[in-house]
Structure 1
Amino acid sequence: MRILTIMLMLCLSAGGVMAAEYKSAVFAGGCFWCLEGPFDGLPGVIETESGYTGGTVQNPTYEQVSAGTTGHMEAMRVVYDPAKVTFEKLLSVFWRNIDPTDGGGQFCDRGPQYRSAIFFADAGEEAEARRQKAQLEKEKGMRIATEILPRAEFYPAEEYHQDYYTKNPLRYHFYRQGCGRDQRLRQIWGAEAGGKG
């Protein structure tokens, strides 16, 4: 992630060529460690970054956000090439890696800081998020609690949270299994359930 970030910054400072080509999307789906892998493995995704968004505290720390008093949610920013992957596809991956019926958090992580949300940047993204939400409610017969909210300031999480699933694979696996994430995803989505990262 660090090399891609540096390359992106260099290209942006060299005339803004990449600014017009790459876009970003922001999703909250419980523990941000668990959203990196599914997006990192998607062709067209340039980088993922764990962070915090949706609250009122500037430059929040993990300790502040996890206490549930900042209004922020743990979130994931996905930088992608829209010529290779669409926002619609990113949404599809997002849905299948969360429990959209749970409004009180995600899996074993409870509280407003772990709720699920899609943060839209424009009217087109909002319309697509609402379309997919309505379609899933109709097709799956479920009431979806995932919020659809306007994009807010995104604050990158501390470095030790970035790419956690690759830096600490044993701890990550233990957390994910202990949290019951994969079991619940299979209950909801069956063969469409998201990946483990």
Structure 2
Amino acid sequence: MQRSALVIALTAGFAASGLAFFSSAGAEDRRLVDPPTRAATAVFAGGCFWCVEADFDKVDGVLDTISGYTGGTVENPSYRSVTQGNTGHYEAVKVTYDPSKVSYDELANYFIRHIDPTDAKGQFCDKGDSYRSAIFVSGQGEHDVATTTLDGAAETLGQDIVTKVLPAATFWPAEDYHQDYYLRSAVKYGYYRKACGRDARLEQLWGPGAKGS
């Protein structure tokens, strides 16, 4: 499926070399920190996982974010196979959070306001099945919250919402060079995000101040 030329240019050669590009020394790696006993997880698909990861890392109470793939039919999919549209997977982010600091309801509402839930073809400059938006839920409680969140978005925007609520499926972490990309390659990430029009569209859709990082 169609992947933004910006991302193709930014990721070219990563998989072949196995190297991550660092433009910011000392980037924090939250995966080295043991989460508290009460930690919970949630999975959201909102187009480019670099951007979704960067947005959720700003939320107080979020302990860890991992970019990956979910919702497909192929085991251990690769970035290339997912973006070609051959696996049925969504680019997604697994969010580990402390429920005593932030609720699932708050995360779901934050997520929907950091994507375009009216775009059935993908997100912003990235088009194709793997870039569609969805909330992957575990149990009736999360399902009800996700449905209520989408209903609220439809009322606020006065438009049809195409973001799906789907049952949780196996989550496959993406290749290492995708993790914390916005920290590791801050300049490239900033260029991609601006050129892709993500924040401009968020402000157009949700109003002034509605943007991520």
Q: TM-score, normalised by structure 2?
A: 0.84
RMSD: 1.5
How many angstroms does 1:96 deviate by?
A: 1.3
Are the equivalent residues in 1 in contact too, given 2:112–2:153 (CA < 8 A)?
A: no
Q: Would you say 1:139 and 2:156 are equivalent positions?
A: yes
The structure that is helix-richer by fraction is 1
Task: Give the superposition deviation at 1:5.
Answer: 2.7
The amino acid that maps onto 1:39 is F
Distance 1:70 1:49 in 2: 19
The answer to whether the aligner puts 1:40 opposite 2:66 as a matched pair is no
Equivalent residue letter for 1:170: V
1:83 aligned partner: 100
Deviations 1:47-67 (A, max 9, x none): 000000000100001011110
Give the Cα–Cα distance (whole angstroms) in 1 for the partners of residues 169 and 86 of structure 2.
17
3-state SS of 1:191 partner: coil
User: 1:140-175, CA deviations, whole angstroms, 9 ceiling, x for partnerless residues?
Assistant: 201100010000000000010000001101110111
Deviation readout 1:112-140 (Å, 9 max, x if unpaired): 01000000011001001111111221232
Q: Which of 112, 119, 122 does residue 139 from structure 2 map onto?
A: 122
Contact 1:32 1:50 in 2 (8 A): yes
Say whether the 8 Å CA contact 1:33–1:164 is kept in structure 2: yes
Cα distance between partner residues in 2 of 1:42 and 1:4? 14
SS of the residue corresponding to residue 119 of structure 1 reads: strand
Alignment of 1:163-178 (within 5 A): 163-178=180-195
1:102 aligns with 119
Matched, 1:4 2:30: yes
Query: Any gaps of 5 or more consecutive residues in structure 1?
Result: 12-16
- For residues 154 and 97 of structure 2, the distance between their equivalents in structure 1, rounded to whole angstroms, comes to 27
The alpha-carbon deviation at position 3 of structure 1 amounts to 4.9
In the TM superposition, what is the alpha-carbon distance from 1:2 to its structure 2 partner? 8.0
Divergent runs of 4+, >3 A: 1-4
Shift of 1:6: 3.9
Q: Which runs of 5+ in 2 are unaligned?
A: 1-26
Give the number of equivalent residue pairs.
187
**In structure 2, what residue type is equivalent to 1:4?**
R
Match of 1:54 in 2: 71
Q: Note the alpha carbon deviations across 1:56-84, whole angstroms, 9 max, x for none.
A: 10000101111011000100000000011
Task: State the SS of the aligned residue for 2:208.
Answer: helix
What code does the residue aligned with 1:151 have?
A: A
Q: Does structure 1 residue 26 correspond to structure 2 residue 29?
A: no
- Identity percentage over the alignment? 50
Contact 2:53 2:65 in 1 (8 A): yes
C-alpha separation in 2, matches of 1:124 and 1:193: 27
Q: Deviations over 1:11-70 (max 9, x none)?
A: 7xxxxx72xx01000000000000112211111100000000000100001011110110
